[in-house]
Structure 1
Amino acid sequence: MKPPRAANRRHLPTSPFKPPADAPPVERFAVDDQVVHDQFGLGVVIGVEDDVAVLVDFRPRRERITAPYNKMTKL
């Protein structure tokens, strides 16, 4: 699957269209943060891999969620 071409293009200052919006900052999680995921439900962060991924215990399963964390929010 190819990335969208608009992400690779630069915005011309004379363009009548608005420049593309900046990507939102990646949310940071810490160990013992309570989170909710759209697919897995409530969980607790049990491991953090810098800004790459987090390991979450959703009881009865553990999942590694990679950044960006679109479907997961901190409670």
Structure 2
Amino acid sequence: MKPTRAAARRPLPGSPFNVPAAPSPPVEHFELQDWVSHDKYGLGSVIGVEEDVAVIVDFGSEKLRIAAPYPRLFKL
């Protein structure tokens, strides 16, 4: 005996879950020598940029590569 399969669910026209996903905010663009602030590492200066991929930031005590979308990095 084969197990029965559930029928495909039809989307309800008035359901609040049918709302299309909101577009993600645009990725912020950084340039060399931009001053930035990070929630964990503090103030720093951008020393390298990989377009829409990552930035390299010098925080004084260490240099870090931070990947896009830069969740806790803010331009000053």
In the superposition, the TM-score normalised over structure 2's length comes to 0.76
Q: 1:49 and 1:30 mapped to 2: Cα distance? A: 10
Q: 1:19 and 1:27 mapped to 2: Cα distance? A: 24
Count of aligned positions: 63
Report what 2:15 is aligned to. Answer: 16
2:38 is equivalent to residue 42 of structure 1: no
Q: 2:34 and 2:14 mapped to 1: Cα distance? A: 44
Paired residue type of 1:62: K
Larger radius of gyration: 2
* RMSD between aligned residues: 1.4
Mark the CA change 1:47 to 1:16 in structure 2 (over 3 Å): closer, same or farther: same
Q: How far is 1:19 from its partner?
A: 2.9
Q: Which runs of 5+ in 1 are unaligned?
A: 1-11
Q: 2:22 and 2:31 mapped to 1: Cα distance? A: 28
What CA deviation, in whole Å up to 9, does each residue of 1:40-72 have, x standing for no partner? Answer: 100000000111000000001000000010100
SS at match of 2:56: strand
In the superposition, the TM-score normalised over structure 1's length comes to 0.77
